[in-house]
Amino acid sequence: MRFKISDISKLPKHIQEQIVVAKQCKKSKYNSTIIEYDGVKFHSIKECKRYKELQLLLKYNHITELKLQVPFELIVNGKLIEKYIADFTYIDDKGNYIVEDTKGFRTRDYKRKKKWIKNIYKIEILER
């Protein structure tokens, strides 16, 4: 069943929060649907679902300091080569700093940046 945005606004608030409204945006270069939820644009439905899971973990104090779209500079010999932007970063309940990326598939660029992040920052990116 398809809803119009005006129909959704008539529903109770607790039900509205469970509905992901896909706005008509151009397709991403990887053919995923760009959607907006809670005032934030996500590059895929999968990324949005993960955000909702992390919001619950944050609410129940299983994680802290949740951040979205965190840039990491990849610097070699003192020169900025490029940036890697993580989907999410947070501190887990054991005090570990987690960098997380939601992937449909791993591109060659992503694989290279993942190696750089591991070598430069000593961080292993968690893929979902």
Task: Give the pLDDT score at 24.
Answer: 46
Tens digit of each residue's pLDDT, the chain (128 residues): 455 556 666 767 766 666 655 444 555 556 678 888 888 889 888 999 999 999 999 999 999 999 999 999 988 789 998 999 999 999 999 999 999 999 888 899 999 999 989 988 999 999 98
Alpha-carbon distance 29 to 10, whole Å?
Answer: 34
Task: Give the pLDDT score at 75.
Answer: 80
Task: Give the pLDDT score at 15.
Answer: 65
Task: Give the pLDDT score at 74.
Answer: 82
Tell which CATH classification among 3.40.5, 3.40.1350, 1.10.20, 2.40.350 matches the domain 5-127: 3.40.1350
DSSP of the chain = ----HHHHTTS-HHHHTTPPP----PPPTTSPPPEEETTEEESSHHHHHHHHHHHHHHHTTSEEEEEEEEEEEEEETTEEEEEEEEEEEEEETTS-EEEEE--SS--HHHHHHHHHHHHHH--PPEE-
- Return the domain boundaries, the chain: 5-127
CB 47 within 8 A of CB 104: no
The β-bridge relationship of strands 63-76 and 97-101 is unpaired
Task: Give the pLDDT score at 97.
Answer: 96
Task: Give the pLDDT score at 17.
Answer: 63
